[in-house]
Amino acid sequence: MEFKDYYKILGIDKSATKEEIKRQYRRLARKYHPDVNPGDKSASAKFADINEAHEVLTDDEKRKKYDALGPDWQQYADFGPNKSRNQGQYSNRNGAQYSFYEGDFDDIFGGGGGFSDFFKAIFGDTFSGFEQRESTYTKKGQDYRAELEITLEEAYTKCVRVINVNGQNLRITLDPGIKDGQTIKLKGKGGPGYKGGKNGDLYITIRIPLHPFYKRVGNDLFIGIPVSIYKALLGGNEEIDVLSGRFKIKIPPETETGTTFRLKGKGFPVYNNPGKTGDLYVTISLQIPKNLTDKEKKMIKELAGMRSFA
């Protein structure tokens, strides 16, 4: 049985914090997930290893035991001449005491339970109640994590997506106003439970790329629109298309470039608060005419001559 270096598997130092471990796990899980690498057995094996490493190193008790056993892990796993179902004590070279279970760990984990023999040899005792019948043992399934990318336009309205998780198509409805980085929980859509235990949960983190025209700050939207220099000078109405629809805004005479108009209630919907919306901020930029005719140039010169610019 091979020793598994969980720190090396995740590519982290032994001093890594729990948050650093989780962050590295999420990065590797996305890379080696079976849905991303269909039919790739090496990726599936790597995915199983990083899940097992995450299971141990994010559990304080398991990590403490793993670190304490060190090179004595094999002695711990093989301790005792008999494989009868009983518990005993093992002390490592540092004097740390651990309970052990002498028996077939597959009885406990349901024929493997997704963990390696190395894991089962060391951590079988982390589950209580070895003397009860195996049919009474239950354990919640593993939680899954995934990311889903949607557009700003999809986040503005009710968005329906179908995603595939371990061969199962799941229909997800996202309410208007969901934010970048927000995580939703789908109860019971994670890994299967052991021996009738509850399924794990699925946590989906939403990602919304930057938009080429809009900037979102909280529930407010910001957009810039070009306005002809003539309309800015003389005033008039400007039609704009925004996420909330097409409407007109009134441009007052002598409007300067950089002027911002606030349109109340035309921003982004507030998540889980129907009827509430942020505001829309429209910033004006002057559109300079190009390819002027000789006549236009002459008229502009005449206009410029009427004013003195110091």
Distance CA 285, CA 56 (A): 57
Tokens 């899954």 found at: 144
Chain center to CA of 289: 46
Cβ count within 10 A of residue 242: 19
Helices assigned H by DSSP within 176-240: 229-234
d(CA 185, CA 200): 11
- 201-218 tens-digit pLDDT: 999 999 999 999 999 999
**pTM: predicted TM-score of the whole model, two decimal places:** 0.54
Domain ranges of the chain: 6-136, 144-207, 215-305
Q: Which residues contact 89 (CB under 8 A, 6 or more apart)?
A: 97, 98, 99, 100
pLDDT for 133-183, tens place per residue? 344 457 888 899 999 999 999 999 999 999 888 788 999 999 999 999 999
- Alpha-carbon separation of residue 46 from 16, 18, 32 (angstroms): 20, 20, 7
| Secondary structure of residue 12 in the 3-state scheme | coil
Q: In this model, does residue 307 exceed pLDDT 90?
A: no
CATH fold group of domain 144-207: HSP40/DNAj peptide-binding domain (2.60.260)
pLDDT digits (tens, 9 = 90+) for 251-278: 999 999 999 999 999 999 999 998 899 9
Helix, strand, coil percentages (3-state) for the chain, rounded to 5, are: 30, 25, 40
Q: Does the fold of domain 215-305 match that of domain 144-207?
A: yes
Cβ count near 9 (within 10 Å) = 19
Measured CA distances, 143 to 83, 114, 206 (Å): 33, 13, 17
Q: Does domain 6-136 have CATH number 1.10.287.110?
A: yes
Architecture label for domain 215-305: Sandwich (2.60)
